[in-house]
Amino acid sequence: MSRKVDSKFVWMDGKIVTADEAKVSFFSHAVHYGTGVFEGVRCYDGALGPAVFRLPEHLERLRRSARGYFMEYLWTDAELTKAIAELIKLHGFRECYIRPLVQTGEGRMGVRPRECEINAFIAVWSWGAYLGPEALEKGIHAAIVEQRKYLPSALDPTIKACGHYLNSVLATKEAAARGYDEAILLNGHDRVAEGAGENVFVVHGDTLITNGPEESLLPGITRDSVLSIAHHLGIPVRIAPMTVEDLLGADEVFMTGTAAEVTPVGQINGRTIGRGGRGPITLQLQTNYLDAVRGRLERFVHWLTPVV
């Protein structure tokens, strides 16, 4: 079978095996019920050489997500950090995407996990611009989809769980069927929640606005980075609920995420936003973000973990 990613080795419960040997049991609880949690992390080549962006924060969220589903794993963050560095060096990557994943493994069958082992895996692969090579400059076309983001009373949106992403899968399929690049989901109150895998920002005048966790979103690490950069640049920031009208009437809209980085949104539901591409504040934040991830901003160099 032809593999679509260039990952040659995978770390599995303390051992590095070839990608062909990286197999999961059919009887794994996660295969049947989606009981896994994961992170998406990037390694960038920059002033410090290959370095992983905000790795401690990603590993902290991985552990918090696992605990949210009663999945305690044995490996320390230091051991996972070492495994990630080993994989990157083994592949010879200067830049790559990193996927740590913890799953509920084989045990007694049934919805309630019983006597199940907990497995930890890590893979790395090359991954460029998530939404296309021109997206960072020209922007994307997004659709506000019918699929709603689940309410916090149903599932905790701050947990990055595998099964939760069925919500996003349906949203992206709907958006693609309508000819759009990405989906924007509303919450149960008809307010903006997030993209299928990104947080959403709008610019009105000189003010940057994004919504809070209570709006059914995963408060992303890239989101937090952009907010920190905005404060550093003196850009006024407001955290508040956002309506569809706020999106469609914005001067600029962009989306953030580890995969998407800082991606402008040029159109929503066929309606042009602002100038129809990357606006000036988006450009400023995007430029500073891409400088930060490559160690070119001394103020944020502490966000980087060099691959050594």
- In what helix (H) or strand (E) does residue 247 lie, and over which residues does it extend? helix 244-248
Chain centroid to Cα 113, Å, comes to 27
In 3D, which of 35, 44, 10 has the Cα closest to residue 258? 44
* Residue 209 amino acid letter: I
In 3D, which of 239, 147, 146 has the Cα closest to residue 201? 239
Q: Interior CA angle at 57 toward 51 and 60, to 5°?
A: 125
Under 8 Å between Cβ of 56 and 77:
yes
CA distance 238 to 203: 10
Rg (CA), the chain: 19
User: Got the DSSP string for 258-300?
Assistant: TTTEEEEEEEETTEEPTTSS--HHHHHHHHHHHHHHTT--GGG
Question: Phi then psi for 93, rounded to 5 degrees?
Answer: -80, 140
Under 8 Å between Cβ of 169 and 162:
no
CB within 8 A of 248, min separation 6: which ones?
268, 269, 271, 273
Q: Which is catalytic among the residues 8, 149, 160, 173? A: 160
Q: Assess whether 160 carries a catalytic annotation.
A: yes
User: Which two structure tokens, joined as six digits, stand for 106?
Assistant: 């084989």
Q: At what angle do helices 221-233 and 55-68 cross, to 10 degrees?
A: 140
Which residues are annotated as catalytic?
160
